Amino acid sequence: MLYPQESETRDVKDLSGIWKFKLDGVGRGLAEQWYKAPLADPIDMPVPSSFNEITPDKAIRDHVGEVWYERHLFVSDRLQGQRVCLRFGSAEHTATVWVNGTEVAHHVGGFLPFEADISDIANFGGNNRITVMVNNVLTWDTLPTGYIQTYDDTNHPEGFRIQQHQFDFYNYAGLNRQVLLTSTPKTYIEDILIRTDRDGKAGIVHYSLDIAADAKSFSAKVSLFDEDAQLVAASTGTEGSMTISNVRLWKPGNAYLYEAVVEVLDESGSLVDIYRLSLGVRSVKVTETQFLINDEPFYFQGCCKHEDMDVKGRGFDHAMLLKDFYLMEWIGANSTRTSHYPYSEEFMQLCDRKGIVVIDEVQAVGMRCEEDSTQTYNDTHISSRTLAHHKKLMAELIKRDKNHPCVVMWNIANEPIVNEKKAGEYFAEVAATTRELDPTRPVSLVTGDVVKPEECYPFEYIDVMCINRYHSWYSDPGHTELIEMQIVNELTPWHEKWHKPLIVSEYGTDTIAGMHALPAVMFTEEYQCEALEAFHRGFDRLPFMIGEHVWNFADFATKQGVKRVVGNKKGVFTRQRQPKAAAFLLRKRWAKL
Ligand code: GCB
């Protein structure tokens, strides 16, 4: 799915602003057809933003179920005859959209974009009512997974229910990314697939175009420009290859981007549609002990992140986006993982431009059934329905992110239960689907489970092992002196079993900024530094390690619980993006690596 863009033939209107909003306390809006008329007694709500923390109302913050958004939109007469769409960057987690009372889209799966074609029903030259119902409920059939807990006792009022889930970030919901009104001609470039190769000093760019056509005859032309706007190659047709002699490669920390200008022309040679796509030429390969980008060994260094901030929750914000990039640059990060869901398209574009390498993770998180002893992979928990949804989300993610040079690997899940045989069968299928959709990138899976390597069944089907470890935190609390030995003793057998390279994809300690102790104790800044240093001594002894991602870039919100003090405090920056002592330590280490 192409990112919306303005061009000679396309328009984009940003619908960010204040929308109307209404909580659907007991879920009667659909039955009462709230989409048929303006919402009764709405309040104001910003878009994009999570709705949870905008008001002081606990009922809104903790709401489980449906919420409704509405706004009026003037659609210009000029757009008559165009393909006019509403495009949602992300609605968490399920959304239904109506325009003037008619349903135009339904999408399951937050974090990924979807659009609604309103060309045939929009009131051109007049006002239109957009109504969106967003549901934040997670079930065993959705990703992330979750379930609704209800109570049948005298300690809870009738109807009391909570959303249970086995993941460690706040279930912020709503219209979290921009909503846009887009228009293209009816014959338009629907999708572009770019794959790149190298041949000596030359770069080869293979392309294939999907053109949605309402006219039978058209021709396509692709021109490739370098960063100085010089034409370096060109081709015609909906499929082809172009050669760039003396190619400038896209490299980590040194990104070079070409621009493909794709044009569709009618029989008389007049322009019908035009789209400009940034692309980078680079290769990715995995050996038993190395991750090669452009045939050079690459070591992943950086932090995992979250889309998380005060007030807006997971709401998209340009200022925070850039703040985080400047801090990633300052700390010396060359990579990140989109833990635990696809990040905004704007984030991916910046990674392309700044040369930040990305492990792109789908929202397969919380895949654990720990409330009883039942197996996780069965028909009542993680079932064939979850698997079908998982594959659909992989397809949507790959469709969205396939052309980003920054994306070097697809991560198909974070910390699912791995030691059931059925986990092997489940992830064999997800990995196969992923490879079928994109044979050019390796596949990884993250485990945090301390099991015997041979009992991590999904690892048979992936290319890179990602392992999360919290020595001296969740195990042996207080004993940082054990970390180096445990890392070496524990990780070596994983490589001996699987002969695949390994990234420690999470390690860290909760740390309250400004808390100090000597000797160090848990939760102090000294303890975080001591632990990270000990991990690093271990990592430096393991030749099959290809990366270290600290958990986490910044403190972030979680659900409330006895293990969390106003959220997860494992950030090396605070939630307001101020450095803890560990940030300086990492900056020093990563400058040297
Ligand atoms: C993990 C999870 C991450 C948590 C982290 C922690 O293994 O992948 O989502 O936030 O541990 O801090 O416990």
Question: Do residues 130 and 97 make contact, with C-beta atoms less than 8 angstroms apart?
Answer: yes
What is the pLDDT, as a whole number, of residue 25?
A: 85
- Residues in CB range of 424: below 8 A, 6 or more apart: 457, 458, 460, 461
Which candidate in 506, 525, 526, 548 is catalytic? 506
Say if residue 306 is in the same domain as residue 428.
yes
Say if residue 351 is in the same domain as residue 440.
yes
pLDDT at residue 214 is higher than 80: no
- Is residue 570 lining ligand 1, measured as CB closer than 6 Å? yes
Write down which residue in 126, 160, 184 finishes a domain: 184
Tell me what percent of the residues of the chain surpass a pLDDT of 70. 99
Convert the pLDDT of each residue in 470-482 to its tens digit: 999 999 999 999 9
Convert the pLDDT of each residue in 15-38 to its tens digit: 999 999 999 988 999 999 999 999
Q: Annotate 264-276 with b (16+ C-beta within 10 A) or e (fewer).
A: bbeeeeeebbbbe
User: 147 lies in a domain?
Assistant: no
The structure tokens 């509405």 sit at: 70
End-to-end Cα, the chain, rounded Å: 37
pLDDT at residue 543 is higher than 90: yes
Convert the pLDDT of each residue in 517-532 to its tens digit: 999 999 999 999 999 9
Residue 304 backbone phi and psi in degrees, to 5: -75, 160
What value does the mean pLDDT of the chain take? 97
| Distance between Cα 467 and ligand 1 center (Å) | 11
Residue 164 bridge partners (DSSP): 147
Rounded Cα gap, residues 328 and 348, in angstroms? 14
What is the pLDDT, as a whole number, of residue 487?
A: 98
Residue nearest to atom 13 of ligand 1 (CA): 168
548 is catalytic: no
Residue nearest to atom 5 of ligand 1 (CA): 168
Say if residue 69 is in the same domain as residue 46.
yes
In ligand 1, the atom with minimum distance to the C-alpha of 508 is 12
Residue type, 12: V
Q: Quick one: pLDDT band at residue 372, thresholds 50, 70, 90?
A: low
Say if residue 230 is in the same domain as residue 305.
no
User: What number is the average pLDDT over the span 184-200?
Assistant: 96
455 is catalytic: no
Helix, strand and coil content of the chain, in percent to the nearest 5, comes to 20, 35, 45
Q: Quick one: pLDDT band at residue 215, thresholds 50, 70, 90?
A: low
Say if residue 529 is in the same domain as residue 560.
yes
| Distance between Cα 361 and ligand 1 center (Å) | 15
We report the CATH number of the domain holding residue 250 as 2.60.40.10
Say if residue 178 is in the same domain as residue 229.
no
Say if residue 345 is in the same domain as residue 434.
yes
User: 144 lies in a domain?
Assistant: no
Q: Which of 475, 506, 575 to mutate to test the pocket of ligand 1 (most atoms within 8 A of CB)?
A: 506
Say if residue 554 is in the same domain as residue 423.
yes
pLDDT at residue 549 is higher than 90: yes
Say if residue 221 is in the same domain as residue 316.
no
Other CB atoms within a 10 A radius of the CB of residue 439 amount to: 8
What is the pLDDT, as a whole number, of residue 267?
A: 92
pLDDT at residue 361 is higher than 90: yes
The structure tokens 């001296």 sit at: 472
| Distance between Cα 248 and ligand 1 center (Å) | 38
We report the CATH number of the domain holding residue 427 as 3.20.20.80
- Is residue 390 lining ligand 1, measured as CB closer than 6 Å? no
| Distance between Cα 366 and ligand 1 center (Å) | 11
What is the pLDDT, as a whole number, of residue 434?
A: 98
- Is residue 509 lining ligand 1, measured as CB closer than 6 Å? no
What is the pLDDT, as a whole number, of residue 371?
A: 66
Tell me what percent of the residues of the chain surpass a pLDDT of 90. 97
Say if residue 553 is in the same domain as residue 585.
yes
Q: How many domains, in total, are found in the chain? A: 3
| Distance between Cα 168 and ligand 1 center (Å) | 6
pLDDT at residue 485 is higher than 80: yes
Could you list the residue range(s) of the whole structural domain that residue 562 is in?
298-592
What is the pLDDT, as a whole number, of residue 373?
A: 61
Say if residue 178 is in the same domain as residue 223.
no
- Is residue 505 lining ligand 1, measured as CB closer than 6 Å? no
